[in-house]
Chains A and B, each alone.
Chain A
Amino acid sequence: MAPHQDTLFRSADMSLTQLYIANEIGREVVSALGELGVMDFRDLNESTSAFQRTFTQEIRRLDNIERQLRYFHAQMDKASIPMRSIYEFDDANTLAATSASEIDELGDRSQSLENRVSSLNESYETLKKREVELTEWRWVLREAGGFFDRARGQTDEIRQSIDNDDAPLLRDVEQHAPQEETERSFSVMNIGFVAGVIPRERIAAFERILWRTLRGNLYMNQSEISEPIINPENNEEINKNVFVIFAHGKEIIAKIRKISESLGADLYSVDENSDLRRDQIHEVNTRLDDLKSVLRNTKQTLDAELTAIGRSLAAWMVIIKKEKSVYQTLNKFSYDQARKTLIAEAWCPTSSLGLIKSTLQDVNDRAGLSVPTIVNQIKTSKTPPTYVKTNKFTLAFQTIIDAYGTAKYQEVNPGLPTIITFPFLFAVMFGDFGHGCIMTLAAVAMIYWERPLSRGKQDELFAMAFYGRYIMLMMGIFSMYTGLIYCDAFSKELAIFPSMWEWPEDFQPGEMIVATRKKGYTYPFGMDWKWHDTDNDLLFSNSYKMKLSILMGWAHMTFSLCWSFVNARHFKSPIDIWGNFLPGMIFFQSIFGYLVFAIIYKWSVDWYAVGKSPPGLLNMLIYMFLQPGDVGDTPLYNGQGTVQVILLLLAVICVPILLFLKPLYLRREHNKARALGYRGIGETARVSAHDDDDEDGTLNGNRESFADDEDGVALITQDIGAGEEHEEFEFSEEMIHQVIHTIEFCLNCVSHTASYLRLWALSLAHQQLSIVLWDMTLNIAFGMSGVVGIIATVCLFYLWFVLTVFVLCIMEGTSAMLHSLRLHWVEAMSKHFIGDGIPFEPFSFKVLLEEEPVE
């Protein structure tokens, strides 16, 4: 078979390949294949747990390095040092470690860096703690001075309040001050004190506890610290209070200490002598200054270190991520102890085989190894994964299909026609030239600024729109076209060509006037603009749009049904053509194809010119079933009754054919095969050069097999019957399956055709909504005059524009899109899509980095 290009039309040809890789260059080979990104490696050690695999040790080591890199990243975030973006590296796409030693080096480097950063961090935190303590101490010293001065003046009072239980707790201070002997020391009086700092929110509890435990035998002073204290451990700000408690007796002092410490207060020593206290303050201040400069230095060193790391951190992260995935892939390989080779199996597109071979040759040459890496194509009965190559334009369209299901290997990929039909059906519902323009402009802007936008942070909604920017572009362009056809631009008419209607020359204002048609002239493109704002506008456009949606739906469904023919041809199963496609097509066409014919025929006859009254098509369709052969008083054409009877009979005959032909044929084939001596083999043998006995279990996976029938290479597969049958043939199952299919198909013909009426409903709703919006905003403004009119016009214009964008473009657009999506998934794809494929997931660094981006 001639090599053909892989297209979007169906999955690329896939081959299962086997690689024999010398153990020494395993890492390099896999790394090179990861850059290529075309191989989907099979796991050959499924029975082995993750811990027992060959390269677990390496993965652990890389995990550790990754953790260290994340630690750096966290530290940089904390210090708000920016990381150099991955996009700023010139060789961002080719970043990779060329040798294992480079990885070792990177590992050592990150280890030493981690030690350094963490020790710097530790000392920074210790210093910071020290600083906080000193600051608090300074506050205590400062505030305590005031307390002492006040307390000294009241030593008697304190004594009294402590000694005498009956003493009033509050006393007018002014009355008793000044005392005669102010210089009496506290120690002389046997009064001790405790000074410290406590979080403000605990102060109330603190006071209460002290009061209760000491039964009031204390004198407490406190004041708020005006600035919040920062906790170095978590960078939180805490408001604190300074307190000094005077009490009598050593034990009580000890008790107070214990209570305050248990409540989280920090106690500081304060001297009662004011001179000593002044010295203390002085000392604390100098120490604080020293500490601050040390802190600044430490911080600077740490920042410098982190900045240096930040310059290459992104690259390191990429390298480690790639390296880890390489070892994870290597873990899927099996290792041949005797020959010291790694054996891998992978699916890859047949067209990439040459590229793979040359890449492997390059790796071999670079390593200077005499043993070549062997690439073997093996024949298998396993179903290959489905791989549709996309580009940035087709990707989003293909995603629409893949969201519904992965196409069966090599069946027609609905993603190809979807590129046009999806935006077009959307546009039929969204048809408005103005709104289409807005959508197109938005899409063009997103495509123009593709690069910067894809790198920036995106919120969820915008990311979705950005992902579908090419869909939006197509939707916008087609909406402009359908807008022209509907003759709507922001609900206003577009008078491109001279109208086919003329209003009468003279009439009274308010009089009902009827337009007359210009002789022999039909409006050449789209709807005539004179229909706008007429009384019977809706009457006309409803009839037109309803028929339009039936015709569109018919065309779309017929188109989709034809793909089932192409599929049957490709899979070489003629029974699907004779037993499914043909009767289905005849059934569909004899009812709905006929309806389409009737619609077009009715349009093309000038009923008034021939002097007949136009027949109603709805009644015609109903009576076609209720009274076959009877067409009533207003026939569409001569011999209509006979034609309808024949069509109806055709449709009826198709049902049993659809029901029985395929199961009966399959049974006959099955019996014939048995008569010839074939038994249901059910299993397929595969010769794998990889001689591992316990592998057999995994070979006959539970996938449905697919016979590759296009090469001359020995096919070591034993297939029976229709090629896709490996299970025991069961007539009843096949019959049930076909009955379901038949019932579904016949009912769906009706319900799906009706479903396309949503095209009419949504386009009507869209048009009416934009008319209402115009009437409620700008039209009001245009009715005003003078300055008020100008202001109203400006304000209402903004209102109108914002509502147009948000309600008519975004909201209505989303709804039309969802409806178009449904028409594709349900109405169209049910006609041909088999879709039990397995997605192709190649081992690719590009995909890996897209899934887990490094910033």
Chain B
Amino acid sequence: MANGWSLIIGLVFIIVFSAVAWFVSPKGENQTVWRSSLILSAWSCFIMWAITFLAQWHPLIEPRRNDLRAHAG
């Protein structure tokens, strides 16, 4: 389901979102604030998500534990 393509799809989505946000931001004296805030928050969130995704894409270690009861997991 989720593999390397998600990153590309996410990136495309964010670019499209940014473009849309640029044009649909309400006109008026706060347009700049709307544009900057929408686009910046979209990118911040994307970067955060992408980093997390990348970190788990090819994990070098696996979860280990010894306190599990049978059939709990």
Contact A420 B64 (CB under 8 A): no
Contact B32 A9 (CB under 8 A): yes
Question: At the interface, yes or no: B47 with Cβ under 8 Å from chain A?
Answer: yes
State the CA gap A502–B73 with chains docked (Å). 8
Contact with A along B31-49 (1 / 0, CB 8 A): 1110011001100110111
Contact A524 B2 (CB under 8 A): yes
Chain A residues 499-536 with CB under 8 Å of chain B are: 500-503, 506-507, 509-517, 520-528, 530-531, 533-536
Contact A536 B64 (CB under 8 A): yes
Q: How large is the interface on A (under 10, 10 to 19, 20 to 34, 35 or more residues)?
A: 35 or more
Question: At the interface, yes or no: A686 with Cβ under 8 Å from chain B?
Answer: no
Residues of B within 8 A of A525 (CB): 49
Contact B1 A501 (CB under 8 A): no
State the CA gap A520–B33 with chains docked (Å). 41
Contact B55 A417 (CB under 8 A): no
Contact with A along B1-27 (1 / 0, CB 8 A): 111101000000000000000000000
CB contact between B65 and one of A522, A533, A547, A600 (< 8 Å): that residue: A533
Q: How far is the CB of A558 from chain B (nearest CB, A)?
A: 12
Residues of B within 8 A of A548 (CB): 48, 51-52, 55
Contact B52 A526 (CB under 8 A): yes
Q: How far is the CB of A729 from chain B (nearest CB, A)?
A: 37
CB contact between A389 and one of B29, B45, B59, B66 (< 8 Å): that residue: B29
CB contact between A534 and one of B2, B54, B60, B64 (< 8 Å): that residue: B64
Q: How large is the interface on B (under 10, 10 to 19, 20 to 34, 35 or more residues)?
A: 35 or more
CB contact between A507 and one of B31, B58, B59, B70 (< 8 Å): that residue: B70
Contact A607 B58 (CB under 8 A): yes
Interface 9-mer from A28-36, A303-311, A537-545? A537-545
Residues of A within 8 A of B40 (CB): 417, 419-421
Residues of B within 8 A of A600 (CB): 54
Contact A522 B63 (CB under 8 A): no
- A424-B44 CB under 8 A given contacts A510-B66, A513-B65, A603-B55: yes
Chain A residues 1-55 with CB under 8 Å of chain B are: 5-9
Contact B3 A516 (CB under 8 A): no
- A7-B56 CB under 8 A given contacts A485-B49, A524-B2: no
CB contact between B64 and one of A9, A512, A609 (< 8 Å): that residue: A512
Residues of A within 8 A of B52 (CB): 485, 526-527, 544, 548
State the CA gap A500–B58 with chains docked (Å). 11
State the CA gap A6–B33 with chains docked (Å). 11
Chain A residues 590-609 with CB under 8 Å of chain B are: 600, 603-609
State the CA gap A530–B61 with chains docked (Å). 13
State the CA gap A209–B12 with chains docked (Å). 100
State the CA gap A614–B55 with chains docked (Å). 14
Residues of B within 8 A of A778 (CB): none
Question: At the interface, yes or no: A416 with Cβ under 8 Å from chain B?
Answer: yes
Contact A501 B51 (CB under 8 A): no
Contact B59 A540 (CB under 8 A): yes
Question: At the interface, yes or no: A428 with Cβ under 8 Å from chain B?
Answer: yes
Q: How far is the CB of A397 from chain B (nearest CB, A)?
A: 10
State the CA gap A7–B69 with chains docked (Å). 60
Contact B30 A391 (CB under 8 A): yes
Question: At the interface, yes or no: A793 with Cβ under 8 Å from chain B?
Answer: no
CB contact between A417 and one of B29, B30, B36, B48 (< 8 Å): that residue: B36
Question: At the interface, yes or no: A394 with Cβ under 8 Å from chain B?
Answer: yes
Contact A534 B65 (CB under 8 A): yes
Interface-centre pick from B49, B57, B68 (highest chain A CB count, 10 A): B68
Question: At the interface, yes or no: A481 with Cβ under 8 Å from chain B?
Answer: yes
State the CA gap A596–B58 with chains docked (Å). 17
Nearest A residue (CB) for B73: A503
State the CA gap A572–B13 with chains docked (Å). 36
State the CA gap A501–B59 with chains docked (Å). 11
Contact B54 A537 (CB under 8 A): no
State the CA gap A481–B43 with chains docked (Å). 13
Residues of B within 8 A of A501 (CB): 62-63
Chain A residues 306-326 with CB under 8 Å of chain B are: none
Contact B6 A524 (CB under 8 A): yes
Q: How far is the CB of B53 from chain A (nearest CB, A)?
A: 7
State the CA gap A6–B28 with chains docked (Å). 10
Residues of B within 8 A of A500 (CB): 56
Question: At the interface, yes or no: A577 with Cβ under 8 Å from chain B?
Answer: no
Question: At the interface, yes or no: A79 with Cβ under 8 Å from chain B?
Answer: no
Residues of A within 8 A of B37 (CB): 419-420
State the CA gap A424–B48 with chains docked (Å). 10
Q: How far is the CB of B19 from chain A (nearest CB, A)?
A: 18
Residues of A within 8 A of B47 (CB): 551-552, 555
Contact A513 B68 (CB under 8 A): yes
Q: How far is the CB of A566 from chain B (nearest CB, A)?
A: 13
Contact A416 B61 (CB under 8 A): no
Q: How far is the CB of A27 from chain B (nearest CB, A)?
A: 32
Residues of B within 8 A of A564 (CB): none
- A523-B32 CB under 8 A given contacts A419-B37, A513-B65, A534-B63: no
CB contact between B62 and one of A7, A510, A515 (< 8 Å): that residue: A515
Question: At the interface, yes or no: A482 with Cβ under 8 Å from chain B?
Answer: yes
Residues of B within 8 A of A604 (CB): 4, 54, 57-58
Contact B3 A520 (CB under 8 A): yes
13 contacts between A and B (CB under 8 A): A6-B29, A389-B29, A509-B69, A512-B66, A513-B64, A516-B62, A521-B2, A528-B56, A535-B65, A536-B61, A540-B59, A540-B63, A548-B48
Query: Which residues from chain A sit less than 8 Å from chain B, CB to CB?
Result: 5-9, 389, 391, 393-394, 416-417, 419-421, 424, 428, 478, 481-482, 485, 500-503, 506-507, 509-517, 520-528, 530-531, 533-537, 539-540, 543-544, 547-548, 551-552, 555, 600, 603-609, 614
| In the A-B complex, the 3 residue pairs with the closest CB atoms | A503-B73, A7-B32, A420-B40
Additional pairs, 18, CB under 8 Å, beyond known A7-B33, A511-B66, A608-B58 = A7-B32, A389-B29, A393-B33, A478-B44, A500-B56, A503-B73, A507-B70, A512-B64, A515-B64, A516-B62, A517-B59, A517-B62, A521-B1, A522-B53, A528-B56, A534-B65, A603-B54, A604-B58
